[in-house]
Amino acid sequence: MFSLRLALKSIFNEKWMSLLSMFSIGVMLFILIAVAIVVYNVEKLTARLPERLTVMAILKEGATAEEVKAAQAAIKAEPAVKSVTFVSKEKALEELKKSFKKDDFILKGFGENPLFDSFDVKIKSEGADGVRQLIQRIKSIRAVDDVEYGESLMDSLYALKSGLRALGISIGIVFLCSVTFICYATVKILFYRHREEIEVYKLLGATRWFVRAPFFLEGTIIGILGGVVGSGILMAFYQYFLRRLIADMPMFAFMSIPVQFLYMLPVCGMLLGLGGSVLALGRLKY
Amino acid sequence: MIELENVSKAYDGQEALSNISLRVERGEMAFITGPSGAGKSTLFKLLYLAEKPDNGTITIAGHNAARLNSTSIPLLRRNIGVVFQDFKLLNNKTVYDNIALTLRIRGYVEKDVKERVHSVLKMVSLRHKADNYPLTLSGGEQQRVTIARSIIGEPTVMLADEPTGNLDEENEKEIMKIFKQINTKGTTVLIATHNRALFENTARRVFFLDGGKLKGEEQ
Ligand SMILES: Nc1ncnc2c1ncn2[C@@H]1O[C@H](COP(=O)(O)OP(=O)(O)O)[C@@H](O)[C@H]1O
Ligand SMILES: [Mg+2]
């Protein structure tokens, strides 16, 4: 296709500018995706958190057997709940003794069992975001006195998560705009450099589309190549940084980079490049 | 067919054309002459829609120029072959690519482009220069490239602005022969020139322009 040839030739003729744009786009997309990876990993981490979380529903003293049964059924009926196990206070004490092992003399001081009957509630991971509401609902059950769970830990983790999400989105928007702007500026400069040529094209009867197509293609190609550069940096980052980090500090082993991100970058670059060129040429008369 | 009715055009308050009315019939070959600065090139710019008249109506190839929207202007221009006084060749493209552009814009396949470019290059005797760049050619050669580019699209109207300005007598005769040839095939040809030799003893109509005014018409 003639337009494609023109676009490639123009990129080649202006290779320094094109390369510069491509690398800036690549670096920006890489930063963008790095932020996305951090957000992704934190999400992944917190998504599994409720699964590990044990929620203990402490039962009211003197609750009747029927009330306890009804409460168990009600909790069990919650879609986010995986299992509900009744733990009698005797069993709880035994567990406690077990955990103290030889030091169980500490418990000898108590004449009677100081513990309560309770439910051990396990939560499915999908229910992550609704944990608080779930706790509220369990609390409102008649036989339940109080609910204990890793509240402060959960709260700070959720705060971190939502903060990170907001930060990620703002950084995302800033960088998306920057990438679009680079494509916009590159295409605009290329367009002005070719003004005389375009004038001749028009005088020879070229349509608006014929004149613009090469520039749309140029913006798109630069965007795609920028995305490829970004993917390259991402891969290098993974190979030389993350893998070593994990080898040295296994605590980061949960960090992972989804493969889709590698394909997403060029696609992202393509869309932004096309968007930038449409913006660059949109208002021009021809 | 070309028709101007009471057409005026001013640049920064200076009238380049004032109240021009003229008519060139379909299939006719006519000349516009007059000293430099008379307004010949300006008249052409109005005809190929690079400029808009301040007043008056222009009809070309059956269209009222003022009524054309931006999508039909390119289509009209494909019916008009123009030999620009300043050539307007693209210096970063070869002679071949400059001429081929006219057809590529129209979406011709490369096989047809090649065939036709070679045939017009032959007409202007520049086959051996196909791969040269315009700036390596003499003024006369560049002019012939421009002419080749304007005739390759087989336009219904041909506007030639000083088409022989840089040519020696030999080439001038060749070029005039080409214009007559395409005129015989039915193309309306309008040539702007200050060279009287082109139209003397031709029995063609000649319009005299001076200071932007039409001073007369002669057979
Ligand atoms: N783009 C322009 N801006 C200002 N003045 C112009 C422009 N084009 C032509 N003119 C003026 O219009 C007059 C006619 O010019 P032109 O049509 O080129 O004459 P010709 O082709 O007969 O030599 C001249 O006085 C010229 O200076
Ligand atoms: Mg002139």
**Which domains occur in chain B, in start order?**
1-79+157-219 (3.40.50.300), 89-154 (no CATH)
Cα-to-centroid distance, B155 and ligand 1 (Å): 26
Cα-to-centroid distance, B41 and ligand 1 (Å): 7
- Are residues A118 and A58 in contact, defined by beta-carbon separation less than 8 angstroms? yes
Q: Per the CB < 8 Å rule, is A205 touching B70? A: no
Q: Per the CB < 8 Å rule, is B78 touching A205? A: yes
Q: Is the pLDDT of residue B179 over 90?
A: yes
Contacts of B199 (CB under 8 A, 6+ apart): B31, B33, B191, B193, B206
Nearest ligand to the C-alpha atom of residue B38? 1
Q: Phi/psi of residue B195, each to 5°?
A: -95, 105
ipTM score = 0.93
Domain residue spans of chain A: 2-47+156-282, 54-149
Q: Which pLDDT tens digit goes with each residue over A124-160?
A: 765 456 777 777 787 777 777 887 777 667 777 778 8
Ligand 1: does its nearest atom lie under 6 Å from the Cβ of B215? no
CA A204 – CA A231 distance, rounded (Å) = 42
Is the pTM value of this prediction over 0.90?
Answer: no
Q: Which CATH architecture has domain A54-149?
A: 2-Layer Sandwich (3.30)
Cα-to-centroid distance, B7 and ligand 1 (Å): 15
- Are residues A63 and A123 in contact, defined by beta-carbon separation less than 8 angstroms? no
DSSP tag of A58: E
- Are residues A164 and A38 in contact, defined by beta-carbon separation less than 8 angstroms? yes
Chain A contacts to B (CB-CB under 8 A): 2, 196-197, 199-208, 210, 286
Q: Is the pLDDT of residue B113 over 80?
A: yes
Mutating which of B82, B83, B104 best tests the A interface, going by the most A Cβ atoms within 10 A?
Answer: B104
| CA-based nearest distance A165→chain B, Å | 47
Q: Per the CB < 8 Å rule, is A202 touching B88? A: no
Q: Per the CB < 8 Å rule, is B105 touching A204? A: yes
For A210, the closest chain B residue by CA position comes to B105
Q: Which pLDDT tens digit goes with each residue over B29-83?
A: 999 999 989 999 999 999 999 999 999 999 998 889 988 888 899 999 999 999 9
